[in-house]
Copies of this chain bind each other. A is one copy, B any other.
Amino acid sequence: MRINCMCTANIQPATSQRKLLLSVIREAKGHLDAKELYRRASKRNASISLATVYRNLRFFKEQALIDERHFGHTRSCCYEMKRSEEHYHLVCRDCGHVIEFESPLIHKLVAEIRRKNNFDVTRVELCLEGYCHDCKKEEKPLSKVT
């Protein structure tokens, strides 16, 4: 019987690029987009290609190893390792800071939808924009001379 290391369990074949990409995503902790993942991976393997990054992001998504998200108005998607606990994000319009949160209200909402609309929810895309603790206290000065 063959024992797979956790790290490569679902990646067949486990190419060096895949292992590299996964470890960059894992180490990032935060949320990176494809370009940033490419930049960081390139530092360790200069020849890796952006297409490989995109292809593997799709592959990891299919394997349910990572989650893909849309933050605010940005055009590109962000990625992070899948976690057992569901969580969602607050994005500050000023400093861009991303805060994670969770709330039982979301489960409630999904249950309500299932019941009222007879709709099977498989994915919740939820992102709140606004001003974080630090940015909101600036009382938005009318004209900010830089």
| A residues at B contact (CB < 8 Å) | 70, 72, 90, 92-93, 99, 101, 103, 105-106, 108-110, 112-113, 116-133, 136
Q: A119-B132, A125-B125, A130-B120 are in contact. Are A109 and B106 (CB under 8 A)?
A: yes
Q: Measured between alpha carbons, how far is A120 from B101 in the docked complex, in Å?
A: 14
Q: Contact check, A121 vs B129: say whether CB atoms are below 8 A apart.
A: yes
Q: Is the CB of A112 within 8 A of B105?
A: yes
Q: Beyond the given A101-B117, A106-B109, please list 11 additional residue pairs across the A-B interface where CB-CB is below 8 A.
A: A72-B125, A103-B109, A118-B136, A119-B128, A119-B131, A119-B132, A123-B129, A124-B128, A125-B125, A125-B126, A126-B127
Q: How many copies does the complex hold?
A: 2
| Cβ contacts under 8 Å, A129 to chain B | 121-125
Are B125 and A70 touching (Cβ within 8 A)? Answer: yes
Report the nearest B residue to A70, measured CB to CB. B70
Q: A72-B125, A125-B127, A127-B125 in contact; A133/B110 too (CB < 8 A)?
A: no
Picked from B123, B132, B133, the residue with its CB within 8 Å of the CB of A128 is B123
Contacts of A120 in B (CB 8 A): 130-132, 136
